[in-house]
Amino acid sequence: MSSSSTSEPEPSNAPPIDNNNVTEENREMVGEEEEEEGECGFCLFMKGGGCSDNFIAWEKCVEDAEKNEEDVVEKCFEVTSLLRKCMEAHSDYYEPILKAEKAAEEEVAKELEREAERKVEQEAERKAESTASSAAGASGEGAGEGSEAHGGEGSRE
């Protein structure tokens, strides 16, 4: 058993021994300690406005989904929608969050657009390469491979 698992150590609840093990797991452990000591600034901000109850319901939904290994987006869609509507209704308080969210959405949209443009360019390059290789094959270099005629001899002229 131990010979097959020598490349990756088993996860442990103990803190890491060397500095090379500063991982996401360790950051999560620090985050959990932070939550035990007091709530994060974002949570305090969210609960400080008129949408405190909606935020608490959203937080609980996310926690439940994570505990049960469910899809957070799917499970918490309705609660998230209610929270967003509440935040928009109280935009005077939640404006910094709404602005940041809008900026993030715009950045994602731009990135998706750039990705779509890259795909179109790549497809155009593939078609150009395919056309070039077909033309080379039809000129006699790859008889039978690029041409539709099976005899090859005298079929072009």
Are 35 and 59 within 8 A, CB to CB? no
What distance in Å separates the CA atoms of residue 3 and residue 5, rounded to the nearest whole number? 6
The whole-number pLDDT of residue 4 equals: 44
Give the chain's mean pLDDT: 77
Assign 130 a pLDDT band (cuts: 50, 70, 90).
Answer: confident
CA angle 93, 86, 90 (to 5 degrees): 25
pLDDT digits (tens, 9 = 90+) for 11-25: 444 444 444 444 444
pTM for this entry: 0.52
By residue count, the chain amounts to: 157
Instruction: Return all residues near 86 (Cβ < 8 A) that are at least 6 apart.
Output: 50, 51, 54
Burial zone of 59 (CB within 10 Å; 0-12 exposed, 13-18 middle, 19+ buried): middle
